Amino acid sequence: MKIINVFVVSILIFSACSVQKPAQDEVVSQAFDFAGSQIRYALTGIEEAEGSTDPKKISPRSVRADGSIEMVSIGDWTCGFFPGELWYMYEYTSDPEWKLAAEKFTDKLEPVQYYKGDHDIGFRVYCSYGNGLRLTGNEKYKEIMMQSARSLMTRYNPQMGLIRSWDFNKDKWQYPVIIDNMMNLELLFWACKESGDSAFYQAAVSHADKTLTNHFRADNSSYHVVVYDTITGSAYLKCTHQGYADESAWARGQAWGAYGFTVCYRETQNPAYLKKAEGIISFIFNNPHLPTDLIPYWDYNAPNIPDEPKDVSAASIVASALYELCQYLPDRAEQYKKWADTILESLNKNYRATAGGDGGFVLSHSVGDKRTDSEVDVPLVYADYYFLEALLRKQQMEENPLPKR
C-alpha cells in the first residue's frame, strides 16, 4: 500500500490535539466533530487515489459502487467544493493544519481561472478561492478570482442578456440556461466591487432578471432548463435535464433558485429578488410532498413518493439559504430559522455517512441525476459543503441574534 505522505500524517496528528471553538448549539459541535473525523479519513483515501489514478483528478466528488473515491479534474463543476469544506473546517476550528490542507487543495485549482467550457466557474472558484480570500486575504487568490470572473464573462452574450450554461445538445438547444447558473453570479458581483468595472454587475443583473421572467411558474417552482432563440432572444423551450419531467419541480433546482436569488438581493437590494426567494421557500415548505423531517425527495413530483430517494444536497442548500434570508425578512426569521434548524438536526441525526467509511464524506443519501440512474442515494461533495456552510451560519446567527421584533 502507498505510504501516506507527511502532509496527511500531520493532519491526523495535529487534529487529534486541536481545540475547537465553543459552540452554543450541540448540533453544530457534533456535526463539526463528525465532519472533522470524516474529512481526515478522506484525506488518506484521496492521497492513495492520487497515486493510483489520473494525476489530473484532484478533488473528490462522490463514492463509486466499489467504495473507492471518485476524483474529478478542474473540468468538473464540483472540483471547488472540497477545498471549500477545508476552509470551513479552518474557519470553525482555527486549526492551522486545516488551513494548510485548504491551501494545498485550493492551489491545485489554479488553472481553472482560464476555464471557459461552461458556466460553473463560480462554483469552482468562489467556494474555494473565495473562502480562502475571505479568511486569509491572500492577494494571489484575488488575482485568480478576477481572471476567473473574466473567463465567466466570455459566456455572457450582451444581445441575449444571459450567461450560456452548456455547450452540448446543440442539435436541440440553441442557447440553454439552467437555474443552477444563478449560483455563479456571486463571483461577478464580487468582481464588480473589486475592480469597479460595472460590466460584471450589469451581466449578473441582466441574467437574474431574465431568469426571473422566464424560469418560474405561477406557484414559484422553476424549470430546470430554459432554451432561448439566438436570433429573437425569446425563450422557446422549457424543460428538464435532471428532474423527473419538464413540468416537475426538481428539488435541487428549487434550492439553487432560493439560494441564488437570496444572493442577488444581498448584492443589489432589488426587492423583486427577495420576493422571488421568499416565493420559492413558500413553494418548498408548503409542498404536500415535503416529508416531516424536511429532507425533500429528489423531485417534488416524482411518481412513486414516498418510495423515492431523498436528496440531502437540496436540503443542505436550502438550510444555508434560510439562515441568510432571516436577515432580510425579519418577520419570517423565526419560522425560517426553525425550518433550517430542523433540516440540520435531521441531517446530523439520520443522514450521516458511515463513520470511518463512505470515502470520508460527511453526509449520504443525495441524488445527482435520477433520470440516468447516476449518483442515486450516495454521498456528494456539494451536500457536505453546504451542510458545513449552514452550520457556520447557524452558529453565527445564534452568537449574534437578530433584534426581537
Point out the residues that are catalytic. Answer: 120, 180
Max CA separation in the chain (angstroms): 62
C-alpha cell at 194: 473589486
| 3-class secondary-structure state, position 404 | coil
Distance CA 169, CA 241 (A): 11
**Cβ pair 309, 366 in contact under 8 A:** no
Helices (H), ranges, 108-226: 121-125, 131-136, 139-153, 185-195, 198-214
Distance CA 401, CA 405 (A): 12
**Cβ pair 204, 266 in contact under 8 A:** no
C-alpha cell at 334: 423565526
- Residues contacting 325, CB < 8 A, separation 6+: 258, 262, 277, 278, 281, 332, 336
